[in-house]
Structure 1
Amino acid sequence: MRFDLFVPGASWLHRLDPRSKFLLVGVLLLMALLLKHLALLAGLLALTHLLLVGAGVPWSALRWLWARMAPLTFFILLLQPLFASGAGAPLLHIGPLVVTSGGVLDGISFALRANVMAFAASLLLFVTEAQALVLGLVRLGLPFEYGMTFSLALRYLPTTYGLWVNIIEAQQARGWTPERQSLLARLSAYRPVLVAVIIAALRLSQDLGLALACRGFGAPGTRSAWQDIRFTRTDTWICGAVSVAFGLFLAGRLLLGWGATTW
């Protein structure tokens, strides 16, 4: 399991302020939600891949994300034509269910949309460090305590998962083999492991709370950042270009109806 997707690099996307990346990713997500046309959605998906590859994200990371999206894509392509048949010529009858050409096109459109949104969100995670991501949220108005909580969650998710793995391996070293039992017995066998993980996580949270208290967390006063973020001229140009492009897209989509149909 991977929780930190950041790929170090020096590309222009890496150097952008996190708030500029929020705007870019937000625009891509809104465009994916407003579009239904297959060619335009495929173009957006290709654009996200070009941005990721241009930022130095390795193909192995893209394959990893495609593998995570494959089950969802499969179920969308399978279920959408069956249970939400759109207009068009009937292609297949399965009892009371009718698969139409419109339903198939809608399924492909939904699948493309889901993948565009996944890769657009990954664009933010692959090229932004967790600390910069949280600092960007705080600069946008998120209370510092919430940002700190989010940062700690990102940091300690792998730690909690490591506790789970260590406890399971310790149990397996003592002859614990739940996979040979029935489903209910297997679930019951995981109960002591879950209890041990909860106890270890509570101890970890208590130690973390004491460490934060020793460092003055929650004390009044103006806070500073060890590595601050700031807007540059490049950020201004990128935000301006993205805003203009999104305005033109909205005009074409809402006034001219671009991308309102699947084909």
Structure 2
Amino acid sequence: MRFDLYVPGDSWLHRLDPRSKLLLVGVLLGMALLLKHLALLAGLLLLTHLLLLGAGVPWTALRWLWARMAPLTLFILLLQPIFASGGGAVLLRLGPLVITSSGVLDGISFALRANVMAFAASLLLFVTEAQTLVRGLVRLGLPFEYGLTFSLALRYLPTIYGLWVSIVEAQQARGWTPERQGLLARLSAYRPVLVAVIIAALRLSNDMGLALAARGFGAPTPRSVWRDIHFTSMDAAISVLVSVLFGLFLAGRLLLGWGAATW
């Protein structure tokens, strides 16, 4: 199970400061939320793919994300036309169920928006190490303790999952076969495994607390940084360019109504 999506590389996106990447992703998310036009949303989705491919993210990673988004996309496409209200030509009428052309367009628009937001967020996760991302959040004002907690959670999620797998495999080696039971009996059979994982996680957290205390965590002294982040001239140029483009987009969207209609 993958918890870290980072793809090592040396592209211009990899070299950007995490704060400028957060701004870029925030702008893409804001544009996705404000747009309804199908062509513009499709263009944003294509842009995110070009940025990811340009950063060296392989097609396998993009296919992995599309596979995760496929159920949600299908769910939106099926349900949104049913519950959407509005005009348009009637495409299907089954008693109280009425599906119109505007409802179908709204469903496609919502599905595109969800995928744009997912791939825009992945743009940050695929090209930024977890520790660097946390460091950027701390430099933006997030308390250091919260940033450390977030970083440790990302680091130890695979460890906790490994504990679960080890305990399940040990139980199976002793003849434990919950899959042959009913649903309720199966859930009850997993209870001892869950208890064992919780106990192991508590022991791990206690050891981690002792290790942090031994390293002076919480001491009233200035903290040092092993690998600091730096906001370079390229970061400043990218941030200014993205901000100006987003300002022009907001002016066109709010004052001229760009992208307000689905088609």
Same fold by TM (over 0.5)?
yes
Who is 1:14 aligned against? 14
Quote how far apart the aligned CAs of 1:173 are: 1.2
- How many Å separate the matches in 1 of 2:115 and 2:20? 22
Quote how far apart the aligned CAs of 1:95 are: 3.2
Who is 2:150 aligned against? 150
Who is 1:135 aligned against? 135
Partners of 1:80 and 1:106 within 8 A in 2: yes
**2:248 pairs with 1:240:** no
> Aligned AA for 2:11?
S
Who is 1:101 aligned against? 101
> Aligned AA for 2:162?
G
Partners of 1:18 and 1:136 within 8 A in 2: yes
> Aligned AA for 1:180?
R
Partners of 1:7 and 1:126 within 8 A in 2: yes
- How many Å separate the matches in 2 of 1:182 and 1:128? 44
Range 27-36 or range 177-186, more displaced:
177-186
Quote how far apart the aligned CAs of 1:86 are: 3.1
Deviations 1:90-118 (A, max 9, x none): 11123322111111000000000000000
- How many Å separate the matches in 2 of 1:32 and 1:166? 42
Who is 1:34 aligned against? 34
Who is 2:207 aligned against? 207
> Aligned AA for 1:8?
P
Partners of 1:86 and 1:106 within 8 A in 2: no
Deviations 1:70-102 (A, max 9, x none): 110010001111122432111112332211111
Quote how far apart the aligned CAs of 1:177 are: 1.2
Quote how far apart the aligned CAs of 1:40 are: 0.3
Gaps of 5+ in 1: none
Quote how far apart the aligned CAs of 1:178 are: 1.1
- How many Å separate the matches in 2 of 1:203 and 1:85? 54
Q: Secondary structure of the residue that 1:99 maps to in structure 2?
A: strand
> Aligned AA for 1:192?
P
- How many Å separate the matches in 2 of 1:95 and 1:163? 53
> Aligned AA for 2:87?
A
Who is 1:91 aligned against? 91
Identity across matched positions, percent:
85
> Aligned AA for 1:98?
V
Partners of 1:5 and 1:125 within 8 A in 2: yes
- How many Å separate the matches in 2 of 1:240 and 1:139? 19
Runs of 4+ in structure 1 deviating by more than 6 angstroms, as ranges, are none
Who is 1:111 aligned against? 111
Who is 2:43 aligned against? 43
> Aligned AA for 2:119?
F
Quote how far apart the aligned CAs of 1:224 are: 1.8
Q: Following superposition of structure 1 onto structure 2, how do residues 168-187 of structure 1 map, counting pairs within 5 Å?
A: 168-187=168-187
Q: Secondary structure of the residue that 1:6 maps to in structure 2?
A: coil
